[in-house]
């Protein structure tokens, strides 16, 4: 069974440009999460989808970030326009069960904004 996949693995863009990160969860997992680790800081929660609906987006830093999950399958996280402080590693995770469900993580996308 394939795990959580993320694309691209690494993205380098200039300040002001737009970047879209993609996450494909494990098939059948209704819950999808986005996290971010800024250099030298903790991994922070960004948001949580249940199927195609946003369950909790309290961790989204500002309105330059837009997450979607079309049809309840894969998800995208768009940053527009990117700023220097957006650099970091963006992780996606998915889980099957809402109760005590283990979250399976992808390898992350390393975003560098120059």
Partner 1 sequence: AQSVTQLDSHVSVSEGTPVLLRCNYSSSYSPSLFWYVQHPNKGLQLLLKYTSAATLVKGINGFEAEFKKSETSFHLTKPSAHMSDAAEYFCVVRGYSSASKIIFGSGTRLSIRP
List contacts with partner 1 (CB under 8 A). 3-4, 31, 33, 35, 41-45, 55-56, 58-59, 91, 93, 95, 97-108
Minimum CB distance to partner 1, residue 25 (Å): 12
**How far apart are alpha carbons 42 and 24 in whole angstroms?**
23
Residue closer to partner 1 (CB basis): 93 or 111: 93
When the beta carbons of 81 and 104 are compared against partner 1, the nearer one is: 104
Given a contact cutoff of 8 angstroms between Cβ atoms, the answer to whether 24 and 109 are in contact is no
CB nearer to partner 1: give 88 or 108: 108
Cβ of residue 68: shortest distance to partner 1, in angstroms? 21
Closest approach of partner 1 to the CB of residue 64, in Å: 22
Q: What is the three-class DSSP state of 84?
A: helix
Residue 26's alpha-carbon distances to 51, 77, 91, 105, in angstroms, are: 12, 17, 14, 10
Under DSSP, the state recorded for 44 is E
């Amino acid at each position: 069974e394939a795990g959580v996949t993320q694309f691209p693995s690494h993205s380098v863009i200039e300040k002001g440009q737009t970047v879209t990160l993609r996450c494909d969860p494990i098939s059948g997992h209704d819950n999808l999460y986005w996290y971010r680790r800024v250099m030298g800081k903790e991994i922070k929660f960004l948001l949580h989808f249940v199927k195609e609906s946003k369950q909790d987006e309290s961790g989204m830093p500002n309105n330059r970030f837009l997450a979607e999950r079309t049809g309840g399958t894969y998800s995208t996280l768009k940053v527009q326009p990117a700023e220097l402080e957006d650099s970091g590693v963006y992780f996606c995770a998915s889980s099957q069960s809402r109760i005590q469900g283990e979250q399976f993580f992808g390898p992350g996308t390393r975003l560098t904004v120059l």
